[in-house]
Chains A and B, each alone.
Chain A
Amino acid sequence: MTQFSEKKFDFEEAAVIKHDIKKAPKTGDWRYMTPQVDKEKCIGCTTCVPFCPEASIDMKLYKEGQKTKADIDYDFCKGCGVCAQVCPVKVITMKKN
């Protein structure tokens, strides 16, 4: 029967891959349709925010004294159109690039 030697197993140090957003593919390159929010008409309901698969929507101040409005990060938005579909007042339009 093989006996294991005293010598420690010769494993390599495990590689650690850390999240680094700078290494992330800019998935905005995938887009062939671009969502555009009509900020004047956005009611600030936040419905679209959690459904975006790319987490590309933030609520941002648009005009002083108003509710925050949906704002899209085009670095990662893949142009799926989910936001436009779920918006209850249909103020997001998908435009051809």
Chain B
Amino acid sequence: MNKELTKNFASGHSACAGCAFPTIVRTILGESPDPVVISNATGCLEVTSTLYPFTAWKTPYIHSAFENASATISGVERAHKILSKKGKVPKKVKFVVFGGDGGTYDIGLQSLSGALERGHDFVYVVYDNGGYMNTGNQRSSATPYGAATETTPVGKESFGKVEMRKNLMEIVAAHHIKYAAQANVAYLGDLKKKAKKAFEIEGPAFLSVFSPCTNNWKFPTSQYVAISKLATETNFWPLFEIENGKYKVNWATETPKDLEEFLKTQGRFKHLFSEKNAPVLAEMKKIVKDEWQRLVNKTEEV
């Protein structure tokens, strides 16, 4: 067991072999200069790290219900403020929420919005695997257009999810927080930089991290890094920051790879390569292209 990497989150958790989120958790927490307190919404990360009587967490950790992880950390952060004034607890502590996309884009959105608006000093991390994975791959508002899930199946009349992903980054940015960033588990240098910044900021900071799911995206257990890389190289998952309202793209290329290179690595997109679904594939490519252009336009706003 690697001592340095397991300072906060140990081996022995039961995430599927080849799951991406343990790396995200360790990398982000590794950038905190102070001890951390975690609030974690229900989901794969929570379920696989807290199998009684074992916990993989070496940090104080509160399992919240699906909808209230941000409300929980709000209370902890305020209580800490008072108690540290009275000298009862250490002064320097960082507060972190981990939530899945279901727990963030959908069910925990209200409590997240409240905590961002009230300006609590915490870092929110959504590990985005594009669906409700712990319950067997139901669609969320983060599931990409065209993806097959249990609730957006592929069949004679259907081609997977009909709706586009929700643009959560813009929703978060609308709270006027100082720092929000989109990152990717394959780009650890970039992820570390963003985590470090997020911890430095006083007030809320938000990180959205791409987190492939070997089990439900249907790819071999060895592939999460390769697939994550393709997500960014095809502009499906751009790396960017929103700092004091200003957008900045962190990785760009003149020649993005064809979206198909990303899609063909995963069973959830397999149906897009049939003749019948050619228009769906074309629409998906258009969505990715348009969204990328929208992002680039934002970086040019003054």
- In the complex, which range does the number of interface residues on chain A fall in? 20 to 34
Q: Which residues of A contact B2 (CB under 8 A)?
A: 49, 52, 55-58, 73
Q: Which of A20, A52, A54, A76 has the most CB of B within 10 A?
A: A54
Flag the segment in A1-9, A61-69, A78-86 that touches B: A78-86
A17 with B52: CB separation less than 8 A? yes
A24 to B51 Cα, complex, angstroms: 9
Contact of A55 among B17, B19, B20, B26 (CB under 8 A): B26
A46 to B246 Cα, complex, angstroms: 35
Closest Cβ neighbor of A27 among chain B residues = B12
A82 to B23 Cα, complex, angstroms: 12
A26 to B22 Cα, complex, angstroms: 16
The A-contacting residues of B in range 1-43, CB under 8 angstroms, are: 1-3, 5-6, 9-15, 17-20, 22-23, 26-27
Asked if B188 is at the interface (CB within 8 A of a chain A CB), the reply is yes
B53 with A23: CB separation less than 8 A? yes
Q: Do A53 and B220 form a contact, CB below 8 Å, given A19-B55, A24-B56, A86-B225? A: no
Asked if B167 is at the interface (CB within 8 A of a chain A CB), the reply is no
A25 to B17 Cα, complex, angstroms: 14
Q: Which residues of A contact B53 (CB under 8 A)?
A: 17, 23
A20 with B22: CB separation less than 8 A? no
Q: Which residues of A contact B13 (CB under 8 A)?
A: 27
Asked if B223 is at the interface (CB within 8 A of a chain A CB), the reply is yes
Q: Which residues of chain B have a CB within 8 Å of any CB of chain A?
A: 1-3, 5-6, 9-15, 17-20, 22-23, 26-27, 50-58, 188, 214, 220-226
List 21 A–B pairs whose Cβ atoms lie within 8 Å, in order of A's numbering: A17-B52, A19-B10, A19-B55, A21-B12, A26-B12, A30-B17, A49-B5, A50-B23, A53-B15, A55-B5, A56-B1, A57-B2, A58-B2, A73-B2, A76-B11, A80-B214, A80-B221, A80-B222, A82-B222, A82-B225, A85-B226
